[in-house]
Amino acid sequence: MYFQKKNIENENVVDDQNPKTLIRAFGDGLRQAQVGIQSSFTVDAHAAPNPNEDVKVLVTTPSKQACYMLVINNRNGTWTVTYTPNEVGETYIDVIYGDEVVNGSPFKVNVFDTNQIKVSNIDGGLVGHLVRFHIDASEAGVGQLEIIVQDGRMPCDAASRGSCRFDASFLPREPGRYTVDVKFNGLHAPGSPFSCYISDLSCVSVSDSLTSAPVGVPLSFDIHHEDFYNYHSQNAAIDVVITAPSGRPIPLKRSQLNESITRINYTLNET
């Protein structure tokens, strides 16, 4: 399992065990949030001398855009604050209780956008050959990128190209359907999990009819692929090209005799 880690720490997290802290603000929404997804945190003032003061929240986004915050009084000395961030970057949240700034304010929130992760097509491949693909996380913000192949059972390498772009690859050892999960801060990138099909060419053989033949006579040979995984999938197709001495391709016709035998018909037109 491969992890590209960029640790995100909120330097202003409040120590819940500090006896001097009578008003606390805490929750995932004060650490990181995904663009377009509602996040929340809690303000706890039940230990304050006057637990009925108003709670105000001020938000400073990277571009100073407005971000609507809904503050709900739970009538038990706590407030629930919800918001939906609308841009990537460091967002600062000030929590004010009455006239007092809550300890830890302003809270630095890492806002990211998994939808900005771009993964190139993960094409099918062959046993013993690297499967390569590319990941571009340059517009997604700060976070942890995870690339997981076969639920972590298959090693995966990722080389940084700079600017949060990566070249990833894995080496399949057996044929079959492979799954690739790409996550950012625990959330799936668009299209994840991806699937690709790995085939084994050692399971493919050709009949003994490819020796010599006369020009102008219809000919054929058979391809046996009984164990060739998912032969009918576009990701695991067997391509056949017949080339004349002049370099021109010779027309051919493909017919499926059964699930494990494909017949190729052709006629030579050059000597």
| pLDDT, mean of residues 185-213 | 85
Sign (positive/negative) of CA torsion 147, 149, 155, 160?
negative
CA-to-CA separations, 124 to 149, 153, 155, in angstroms, rounded: 14, 18, 17
Residue 7 banded pLDDT, cuts 50, 70, 90: very low
What pLDDT sits at residue 100? 84
Q: Both tokens of residue 162?
A: 């700079």
Least confident of 80-94, 234-248, 249-263: 234-248
Strand partners, 222: 263
85-128 residue pLDDT tens = 999 999 999 999 988 889 899 999 999 999 999 999 888 888 99
Give CA angle at 52 (101, 105), nearest 5°: 15
pTM: 0.73
Provide the mean pLDDT of the chain. Answer: 84
Could you give the CA distance from residue 223 to residue 271 in angstroms, rounded to a whole number? 24
Supply the DSSP string of 118-143, one letter for each residue.
EE-----EETTS-EEEEEE-TTS-S-
- In this prediction, residue 13 has a pLDDT band, given cuts at 50, 70 and 90, of very low
Cβ neighbours, 10 Å, residue 106: 17
* 175 has a pLDDT exceeding 70: yes
Domains and CATH numbers, the chain: 10-112 (2.60.40.10), 114-199 (2.60.40.10), 202-267 (no CATH)
